A and B are shown apart, each in its own frame.
Chain A
């Protein structure tokens, strides 16, 4: 695939046109107001804070970097009020002048939080005028209240959300609304992370201490997100304390970690570094039922420079690694590496434009070193360069227009020894490019409509398949306490992982491109739901979804020889209904989610339920502030049985080795397992109760937190898998008490 050099000019030209296009002025020559909202104690920006010009219907919410822009304000004097959950409301007067942009920033003071009160931090990250559907904000509070299984993990919070299925305790892999695991786009500060797991998928690679907020969108994502079919997990890390150096350190039974942040002197900005390193592989024995000589680490760093109140550039880096080093020559070694680096530039332009540009490089490598074992060596590598530019125009609150483009150049390498015993190497460079446009309009607290389109540009890249992705999201408030939401959208994916679905624990999900003659995988989302706040402090959400998959790539089960492709494209569909109820009170916070879902895939042989098709998923999470720094939390999860393929005996299969020289008579066949219909068996139901108790001690020089957690309190034997060849039943986590100590200073 080659890039047409004569079209490369499109990028800078488009950028310049977007940025310098003349301001659209109305007859009254209005002005605009812009600025940043920060935390007064740390200087951290506050995303999605609400701003209102009192006495008008004008307002805005800050973006993910704390920036806001209110345009088309008639000249005059106004009072601006800023509100943010957990912070004191700030009110300031401002004069707006014709044709001028006024900068006004706010440093909000946190409310004095008593240790025995609940702050539902995830709620901070939800915009009041949000039109997107199926979006789940996750704040540090949500992460901390789900009892940790040795290590706190954002992926364990995600699996409590409606529409999300996890296939085991010992895998952080998750499946959204019938989508496969590779259909989740995982972004860390905008950088794509290809294999976000530690320790054979036991944990995510994201240290929870660095997470400022996250949001999981399980459907109907905006035009700025593409390249994946099922979900977008957007994790935003802390920028660092702009006022003073602070830190945090903690230790669990598995790993120790530390995080330090502080201001950048003279330049005006902040930095943050964080690192985690495992030191005790004995704990893992509880997870994988065998001693695993595994070590892992991860490190995150960021630096943000503010050129002015509203103009900033930030640098992000991420690194993680896992090693399994077996001393025995007959045991294989494993190695995984993730690296990512990104630069983001954000600046308001003119009176009503906000420009964001982002350049990143992501890297993933996984290697299985066979040594003298009978395991075949495997190597997989992804190197990805990504550029993104987005221009947001505030037409008139709450109407917005967004235009942007992205360009991605991933190189995918994969080598293994195949079934015929030949070493194979695959090296592909894929080119992805897309442009998008979105317009959003509505009336605050009444309705909102978001219409957009995303398409790639085959003119730029030869052989690039043309895809067209219309998106529509609608919000309508029927009553002050009842909102209907709906969304439809088309999505495509050109990078996928393909594994044998009969594998229990696929260690290497190698990424491969979907190239000609195959079409990109496609999914159409249809979502309809309602949200109610009829009862005080209780939110109820019900959503139904239907997803139609096309061009899903899977193994060609009819392959005979080298003239037949390894893969074929099939179809799929999933549908279901999700319920979510949240209740907050001063000292308790709980949520319950239930998903009733069906998923089907069809390949060239049959229609079957993929291994993550779970009919019923129920989660219940609660936290209770007991006072004096004590906190108790619990989580209970129930899941109906997952599909698997039953074995139905054996037969001795002949090779016919001597058929061309003498005869096959006398040959003794090798045992071959006869399988039943694909995935028609179901594993037993899954359920598990976790509890934790923590105590926070505020000392003069530091804050200490001690947590005792018990995983699987009633020691339920949840089956992970049944090894067909050995007959060994492998269960998931047993009764497992853990302890975690941390200190903030």
Chain B
């Protein structure tokens, strides 16, 4: 065998030797950049509003549950400015956490009392933290919710519609309101009406949806009333009426709420869950919810 015959195999081998010692530093992580995370859905349903402020975090390794240090930010200055110039300052407070597994029993929230959002206004949030910087966000509230209802004369189903210009999503709920009298004490109670019942007997209640109309079946309303009767083992039940409650969500609140629920799409073939934020310079969501209700007394 002469030299030329060996050449190709030798070249292959040399290539291997040449690169054998090449090692590179590799990190699956981009440089960690701390960001503020803000969650706030202002509502017209209550006169105390909350803003939760935390920060992004990194861990040694890749398991986020290794982080036991609360990411809550407690040194922030938080204010909401309405488009007419009114400024609402938020105060920090300690709150009880629903779960104490990761960060203990208490967390930090910012609240403002005596403040409800109004329809057709712009709200701007400004958060300034000495340690973590500044973020801003804004949203516009939809128009006041107008509720309409009617009876489908063919099925006796209750049809509810809601109108609120500027809202992207609605949650339309129906409650059967009844009076439970026991030992001469009358208590007004309400039970929510489902929109369907599965074959397994599971009751499906209305979800946030872009549609502004909802049909409530007569048989399901009757079933809920039956539940009320059964729950009153002693005493009497009097059907008082129906209460319709409609929530209208601004686009930011709606987008975030749907994204974290897998798009709320029963026909999607997606199994991923992307992210949504309208916080400039940070993460999270700042949005608003309007609510209105209508009571229809039983004839």
* Bound CA span A485–B3, Å: 35
B30 contacts A648, C-beta separation under 8 Å = yes
Nearest B residue to A723, CB-CB: B62
Q: What separation, in Å, do the CA atoms of A663 and B45 have in the docked complex?
A: 10
In the complex, whether B276 has a CB less than 8 A from a CB of chain A is: yes
The answer to whether A654 has its CB under 8 Å from any CB of chain B is yes
Residue tally, chain A, CB below 8 Å to B:
87
Tell me which residues across on chain A come within 8 A of B99, comparing CB atoms.
Answer: 668
User: In whole Å, how far is B217's beta carbon from the nearest beta carbon of chain A?
Assistant: 21
A51 to B263, CA, bound (A): 64
Contact A681 B41 (CB under 8 A): no
Q: Is B185 among interface residues, defined by CB-CB distance under 8 A?
A: no
B241 at the interface (CB under 8 A from A): no
Residues of chain A contacted by B54 (CB below 8 angstroms)? 651-652, 669
Residue on B with the closest CB to A672? B275
Q: Which residues of B contact A648 (CB under 8 A)?
A: 29-33, 56
Residue A502 lies at the interface, judged by CB distance under 8 Å to chain B? yes
Determine the distance from Cα of A668 to Cα of B209 in the docked complex, in whole angstroms. Answer: 25
The answer to whether B283 touches A681, judged by C-beta atoms less than 8 angstroms apart, is no
**A399-407, A515-523, A584-592 - interface stretch:** A584-592
Binds A, one of B15-23, B115-123, B152-160: B15-23
A410–B67 Cα distance when bound, in Å, is 50
When C-beta atoms are compared, the residue in chain B nearest to A637 turns out to be B15
Cβ of A83 within 8 Å of any chain B Cβ, yes or no, is no
Contact B22 A651 (CB under 8 A): no
CB closest chain-B residue, reference A589: B8
Chain B residues with CB under 8 A of A673: 64
CA distance A424 to B54 in the complex (A): 36
Q: A719: which of B26, B41, B59, B270 is its contact (CB, 8 Å)? A: B26
Tell whether B97 is near chain A: CB-to-CB under 8 Å.
yes
| Whole-angstrom CA separation of A637 from B111 in the bound complex | 61
Contact of B4 among A585, A623, A633, A651 (CB under 8 A): A585
- List B44-68 residues whose CB lies under 8 Å from chain A: 46, 50, 52, 54-59, 61-65, 67
B166 within 8 A of A: no
Interface presence of B5 (CB below 8 A): yes
Contact, CB under 8 Å: B276 / A560:
yes
Complex Cα distance, B272 from A681, in Å, reads: 21
A691 to B107, CA, bound (A): 61
Given A562-B264, A676-B30, are A624 and B5 also a contact pair (CB < 8 Å)?
yes
A647 near B107: Cβ-Cβ < 8 Å:
no
Q: How far is the CA of A417 from the CA of B99 in the complex (A)?
A: 28
Q: Are A420 and B264 in contact (CB under 8 A)?
A: yes
Closest CB in chain B relative to A452 CB, distance in Å: 37
Q: How far is the CA of A588 from the CA of B8 in the complex (A)?
A: 8
- Residues from chain A with a CB closer than 8 A to the CB of B98 are 666-668
A563 & B210 in contact (Cβ 8 Å cutoff): yes
Residues of chain B contacted by A726 (CB below 8 angstroms): 62-63
Q: With the chains together, A563 CA to B267 CA distance in Å?
A: 10
* 25 CB-based A-B contacts, threshold 8 Å: A376-B271, A419-B270, A420-B264, A559-B263, A560-B259, A561-B263, A561-B264, A620-B11, A623-B8, A624-B5, A634-B13, A635-B12, A646-B29, A651-B56, A651-B57, A659-B289, A660-B289, A664-B41, A668-B102, A671-B65, A684-B24, A685-B22, A689-B12, A689-B15, A724-B62
- 4 tightest A-B contacts by CB? A727-B62, A419-B262, A622-B8, A689-B16
Which A residues have a C-beta under 8 Å from some C-beta of B?
376, 414, 416-422, 424, 426, 500, 502, 510, 512, 555, 557, 559-564, 566, 583, 585, 587-590, 620-624, 626-627, 632-636, 638, 644, 646-656, 659-660, 663-669, 671-674, 676, 680-681, 683-685, 687, 689, 691, 713-714, 716, 719, 722-727
Contacts A626-B1, A668-B98 known; list 17 others, CB within 8 Å.
Answer: A422-B268, A426-B269, A562-B267, A588-B7, A590-B12, A646-B28, A647-B30, A649-B57, A649-B58, A650-B59, A654-B284, A674-B283, A685-B22, A687-B16, A687-B22, A714-B17, A727-B28
